[in-house]
Amino acid sequence: MAAAANFKDNGIHEGGAMNNFGFIHDKLDIKILILYILEKLPLPAEPTLLSDLTLFDGGFTWFDYTDCLAELIKTGHVTDKDGKYEITEKGRRNVNTVASSLPYTVRAKADRLTAPVTASMRRASMIETYAEPGVKDGLTVSLRLSDGIGEIISMRLAVPNEKQSENIRTRFRDHAEELYNKIILLLTEDESKE
């Protein structure tokens, strides 16, 4: 609990206990839970996503959650970056110190809820698509796939219109790894027969 007291001294704890069912009732615990979830996510979180991931316990209300989030932003533990929430280095340091004060069942549930979101965010961060004006009233579509270390494939395609551009970008986002594997197979097929 000394760690929780230290967290209080960093401007996170204001207010007292809340009277709802669930494991989390205190504002300090709500703040720790918000930071715990944000620390797991590799990218900033949309407001709806963060509230969906946080409000699973039933021990506090949406209003309690928004108050605590506003206080975390005010104290510099969380930033509001273009309408998305991201944990700061200060928030990361503090939550790593006190996360164990959350009940194990709450941490386990938060881990289960964030795992697929984290995987999806990581995948999305490795795929980049955009379109820009091309020649003769067409567009140039750029498609890139990385492996987290560096770019593994990059293509630029000339397309006649926005509809085809969006279709190509959507298919690439949905099937980037499969398309990469097919391209590699096509390019190396003769080598494997030798």
Q: 10-residue block means of pLDDT along the chain (194 residues)?
A: 44 44 86 97 95 91 95 97 95 95 94 94 90 86 90 92 94 92 87 55
| Run of H or E residues at 154 | strand 151-159
* CA dihedral over 94, 97, 101, 102, signed as positive or negative: positive
First to last CA, the chain: 66
Cβ atoms of residues 87 and 39 within 8 Å: yes
Contacts of 70 (CB under 8 A, 6+ apart): none
pLDDT of res. 125: 87
pLDDT of res. 70: 97
Enter the pTM of the model: 0.70
> For the chain, what are the domain ranges?
2-124, 126-193
Classify domain 2-124 at the CATH topology level: Arc Repressor Mutant, subunit A (1.10.10)
pLDDT of res. 194: 53
Alpha carbons 191 and 194: distance in angstroms, whole number: 5
Q: What are phi and psi of 179, to 5 degrees?
A: -65, -40
Contacts of 9 (CB under 8 A, 6+ apart): none
